[in-house]
């Protein structure tokens, strides 16, 4: 019983730690902001680029942002010894 409570407390602490993280990237006038819960907060496109260029840049930026966040979150978990 107490172990489950402890696990819930750790999970809540993890969620709070993740939600404070943000990554904002820009390339070719396209900007994305992603939070630590792996949710996209903002996307700004560049209307001067062709649609295919915007699509490629957007996919690349989102993948990079998620990768950066995963590394930040993993480092935070290790630092705080949450698991």
> How would you class 65 by CB atoms within 10 Å of its CB: exposed for 0-12, middle for 13-18, buried for 19 or more?
buried
The structure's pTM equals 0.78
Q: Residue 3: its pLDDT value, please?
A: 73
Please count the structural domains in the chain.
Answer: 1
Q: Which of 78, 70, 81, 61 is nearest to 18 (CA)?
A: 70
- Give the total residue count for the chain: 83
Block residue for tokens 């995963």: 70
CATH value at residue 10: 3.30.1310.10
Q: Residue 23: its pLDDT value, please?
A: 96
* Rg over CA atoms, the chain: 17
Q: Which residues span the domain enclosing 45?
A: 2-80
Q: In the chain, which stretches have pLDDT less than 70?
A: 1-2, 81-83
């Amino acid at each position: 019983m107490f172990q489950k409570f402890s696990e819930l407390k750790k999970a809540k602490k993890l969620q709070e730690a993740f939600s404070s993280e943000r990554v904002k990237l820009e390339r070719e006038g396209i900007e994305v902001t992603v939070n630590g819960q792996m949710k996209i907060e903002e996307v700004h496109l560049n209307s001067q680029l062709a649609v295919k260029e915007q699509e490629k840049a957007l996919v690349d930026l989102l993948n990079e942002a998620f990768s950066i966040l995963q590394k930040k979150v993993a480092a935070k978990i290790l630092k705080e010894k949450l698991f």
